[in-house]
Amino acid sequence: MDEIDIKIRLATIEDLELILAFISQKAKFDRYPHSLEITIDKLKQTLFTQPPLAQVLLAQVDEVAVGFALFSYAYSSFLAQPTLWVGDLYVQPLMRGKGIGTALLQRLAQIAQEADCGRLEWTVADCNTRAIAFYQKHGTQVLNVRLCRIERSTILQLAGKRIDKRFTAFYK
């Protein structure tokens, strides 16, 4: 395999359209394009306000972006330390197997180390066996857990319910 020059950089506000395109590509790859509700304005409000809710790394080869990783911080109560949560890690299909995913993962590990994170975590679909093998090659433990999700419509419904009077003392 020929050596390629991979550069990893933090995305800037000028990269909004590129970020939108990468997220759309990943949604299509994951077979969830119908779930996309993102817009340039939403990305701008969440990624480039202070403090940002998440950040994006871009992987470039010959000055062309070929992959990205979106990450944010969570908190591990078990460790009493921050966790670096990777929401998305994606490399364009024709660029896979060239070390780009490894470079993104290494930079994420460096960021986690700099922030004194106790963990670096993300999800992977059970059917994505190629990704699972890639992650395991880099020392990842693939845990047997289930992702739980409440969509916005259910959040609104649940948040609007009256709290049982027996529990109101806990919320005052």
CATH of 6-123 among 1.10.3720.10, 3.40.50.1580, 2.60.40.350, 3.40.630.30: 3.40.630.30
Mean pLDDT (the chain) is 92
pLDDT band at 149 (very low <50, low <70, confident <90, very high): confident
Average of per-residue pLDDT across 99-114: 98
Catalytic positions, please? 135
Burial of 29 (0-12, 13-18, 19+ CB in 10 A): middle
Order the strands of the 119-121 sheet from edge to edge. 6-10, 55-61, 64-76, 81-91, 119-121
Q: What is the pTM of this model?
A: 0.88
Given a contact cutoff of 8 angstroms between Cβ atoms, the answer to whether 8 and 102 are in contact is: no
Query: Which residue ranges make up each domain of the chain?
Result: 6-123
Predicted local distance difference test score (pLDDT) of residue 167: 56
Residues pairing with 91 in the sheet? 67
d(CA 16, CA 21): 9
pLDDT in tens, 29-73: 988 888 889 999 999 999 999 999 999 999 999 999 999 999 999
pLDDT band at 160 (very low <50, low <70, confident <90, very high): confident
Predicted local distance difference test score (pLDDT) of residue 130: 93
Residue 2 has pLDDT above 90, yes or no: no
pLDDT band at 127 (very low <50, low <70, confident <90, very high): confident
